[in-house]
Every structure is written in C-alpha cells, then in structure tokens.
Amino acid sequence: MVWREDSENAGLSLVRFENVGLRYGIGGEILKDISFAIEPQSFQFLTGPSGAGKTTLLRLILLSLKPTRGLISLFGRDSGSLNKDAITALRRRIGVVFQDFRLLDHLTTYENVALPLRVQGRDESAYRGEVVELLRWVGLGERMHVLPPVLSGGEKQRAAIARALIVRPELLLADEPTGNVDPTLARRLLRLFTELHKSGTSVVIATHDLGLMDQFDGARRLVLGDSRLHIYE
C-alpha cells in the first residue's frame, strides 16, 4: 500500500467530521453534531437501526452530499474548499461497496471490476492481469464474462467488493456488504475485509448485523441513534 503525502506526512486522519449537521429542505436535522475521525489503518463498524442515517453518513464521507453545517475534511483537506477535480481525485482514493451493488448491467463482471481503473484513463492491457487475479481471489474467475443480471446475489456482492478493492483504496466504505448473503458467505466477506485492513486499508462497514460485528472484536463501533453518533472504542 502506498500512502499519499498529505495523509502520511502530516499524520492526518483520513476523514474528520466536526459538528456536522444535515437536514433536507426545511425539515429537522437528520444528523446532528456528528464529530468523529477515521484514522489510517483503522477498522470500524458503523451501525444503528434502519433509517438511522448510515448510508447518508457514508454519502457525506464521499462528498456526494454537502452538510448543512459543520466541517468535513478528507485526507487533510477541507471539503468546502474542494473543486470538482479535487473531489474526483479524492474519490479515487476511496473504495465503495454499495448496498444495492450498483453494477452496470450492460458491462461484464470483468468490465465492472475494471471500471475504476478505466475511468482513470489507464490502458486496458496494463490492468488486465490485475483485474483477472482479483476476480479469481474473490471466487469469480469463472464468471468474469458474465453480465450482472446473470450473477447470484452473493456473486454480485463479491463483484462490487472487487470493484472497490481494485484501486487499492486507502479507505474502504462498505454499505451493508453482508445484507444479501448467507451467514457462511458473510463470514468469508468479513475475512476479506480484515485481510484488506491488515494490508493497510482503513475500513468502514455500515451494518446492523450484530452477529457480524461480534466476529471482529477489535473494531471500533460508531453507533447512530436519534440523529447522533456514539462511539464505542
């Protein structure tokens, strides 16, 4: 893992929220006074009941939503001062696994996993071996020619995870990554995340699966409830 200059040298948090609040329109705040930091090479679960705002918080980290108040900094940079190109550059350092996978149905599994490299303008022949190797590692070596509608739920989940991992992100955000798979596959996926964490990636897993969290005792828990965040180290 190659750490970038601003997060490595400055010893800064990858993500820092300070008194962040978010409301839609004129309604009440759905997130209040959220303050936390995600440190390099850390592992945390983001949990809370359905509708508590886990996905919204992940979208704030991805800068696809702007907070109503407070400060968000990403890799040591204030999000308010970032232009579109800078946001794009920061997103390339983050891997995301969506709850509903978000695979593009007209692209094969291989093309979906290679997408983050393709959008960077890299030559296909330069990353082909890497993508094929990762697909085999997540058990999709035989399914790389297949379009997503043909894949099972578990296969889609693994393809989505492979797509998030292919850029060797510094930060991995996974939204309910085990929500659509059986317990055995859930354990396998968790092992995959822990291996990734050991290799130096910070991991945030949004889940309300207590069983999954119990399998990883050393993880920090960020619990959303009543629009506020409670942190259990």
Partner 1 sequence: MVSLIQASRRTAAGQTDSDGEARLRRDMPLVPATSIAGRALVTVIAIMTFLAALTAGTAILIAEASQAWRASIGQEMTIQVRPAVGRDLDAETAKAVEIAAQTPGVASARAFSKAESEALLQPWLGAGLDLSELPVPRLIVLKLDGSGKLDAAALRSTLTDKVAGASLDDHRLWLARLSIMAKTVVFVAIVIFALVVVAMMLAVAFATRGAMAGSREIIEVLHFVGAADSFISRQFQRHFFRLGLRGGAIGGGTAILVFLSADAASSWWRATPSGDQIEAMFGSFALSPLAGATIVVMTAAIAGITGIVSRVIVFRHLRRLA
Which residues are near partner 1 by CB under 8 A?
A: 62, 64, 84-85, 88-89, 91-92, 96, 98, 102, 104, 106-108, 110-111, 114-116, 118-121, 124, 128-129, 132, 141, 144-145, 163, 167
Q: Decide whether 35 or 56 has the Cβ nearer to partner 1.
A: 56
Burial class of residue 81, CB neighbours in 10 A (0-12, 13-18, 19+)? exposed
Question: Comparing C-alpha atoms, which of 88, 98, 30 is closest to residue 63?
Answer: 88
Closest approach, Cβ 210 to partner 1, in A, equals: 28
Q: Decide whether 134 or 212 has the Cβ nearer to partner 1.
A: 134
Q: Decide whether 64 or 199 has the Cβ nearer to partner 1.
A: 64
Neighbours of 155 (CB within 10 A): 21
The identity of residue 19, as a single letter, is N
Closest approach, Cβ 230 to partner 1, in A, equals: 28
Query: Is 97:161 a contact under the CB 8 Å cutoff?
Result: yes
Angle at 79 between CA 76 and CA 85, to 5 degrees: 100
Closest approach, Cβ 218 to partner 1, in A, equals: 28
Q: Decide whether 2 or 210 has the Cβ nearer to partner 1.
A: 2
Burial class of residue 87, CB neighbours in 10 A (0-12, 13-18, 19+)? middle
Query: Is 97:173 a contact under the CB 8 Å cutoff?
Result: yes
Closest approach, Cβ 161 to partner 1, in A, equals: 13
Reading the block at residue 220, the tokens are 């920090």
Q: Decide whether 170 or 209 has the Cβ nearer to partner 1.
A: 170
**β-strand partners of 74:** 15, 77
Closest approach, Cβ 65 to partner 1, in A, equals: 12
Q: Decide whether 90 or 212 has the Cβ nearer to partner 1.
A: 90
